[in-house]
Amino acid sequence: MCHLLATSLRFAAARRSRWHIRDRHRTEGHHAVPLALALALAGCAPTDDGPRPVRVAVAASAAGVTRELAALFEARADGAPVELSIGSTGGLYAQIRNGAEFDLFLAADAERPRLLVDEGLGQESRTYAMGRLALVGALDEAWDAALVGGVGDAARDGESEGRATLIAILQAPGVQHVAIANPATAPYGAAALEVLERLGLRSELEPRLVQGADVGQTHHFVATGAAELGFVSLAQARAREGEPLFEIPADLFTELRQDAVLLDDSPGARAFFDHLGSDDARRVLEGAGFGLPSDG
């Protein structure tokens, strides 16, 4: 019976949508049928299914660790199920502003969560992690040879060892493409450009840059061979066992303060928001490759 009611409701809604397109003034009399069906369906809903899922929008840089945090939360006696939607920070921010229904947003920066609070779309925000940047790519024997020679040359020019190593990797023979996330929507992409700028390599490498929508797609470019190197989060790089990586020195980019914003103050959402600052969550975040906020 409930299945039939649901089918009828979808059919009625579709008809009402077509009426609305043809004549905006004819819709008023047609609300009663879908409303009645909706009320009938409400009686079909089970009452013992437990708490409503917590809907979390999460930046791709923190997707893996958020899955771990969600599993930890769901295992608690009072834990609700968690549903994740993954994307770029800028893209998810735009969705929320356009009415997407999420309970929390775990961004890769502090700016978008602050803006959501200022715009009245967020309840409060807090820093849950400090992002770390890494360069990934399969280094073959030819690259290894270039790396050994390159470090010496750069070091003689006054570069620190970390910078010298990074310059040598980026300038190694065979590097045709370097993947970064879209800097307009992904904070890790903006940080990657900042690194190239501070190394004095941006103009040299810009023609070889390929952009992913987020760091998840950026990592995919490297994994599939579409790019020889890619800038991703350290947490992503560590999650792929056996993949060569180089952690970017922190003095080469502005700190990546990653904030979470509470969008809906329901009990489940509030509980997950508080869970992010728990000792267990901090251990998971640190183990994954994130830094911890000093005030957390």
Residues belonging to the binding site for molybdate are 61, 89, 215
Length of the chain: 296
Q: Which of 252, 254, 219 is nearest to 234 (CA)?
A: 219
Residue owning tokens 């190394």: 199
Distance CA 292, CA 12 (A): 52
Q: Which residues are annotated as a binding site?
A: 61, 89, 215
Distance CA 241, CA 221 (A): 17
* Beta strands, E only, the chain: 54-59, 82-87, 104-106, 124-131, 133-136, 178-181, 209-212, 229-233, 245-247, 256-262
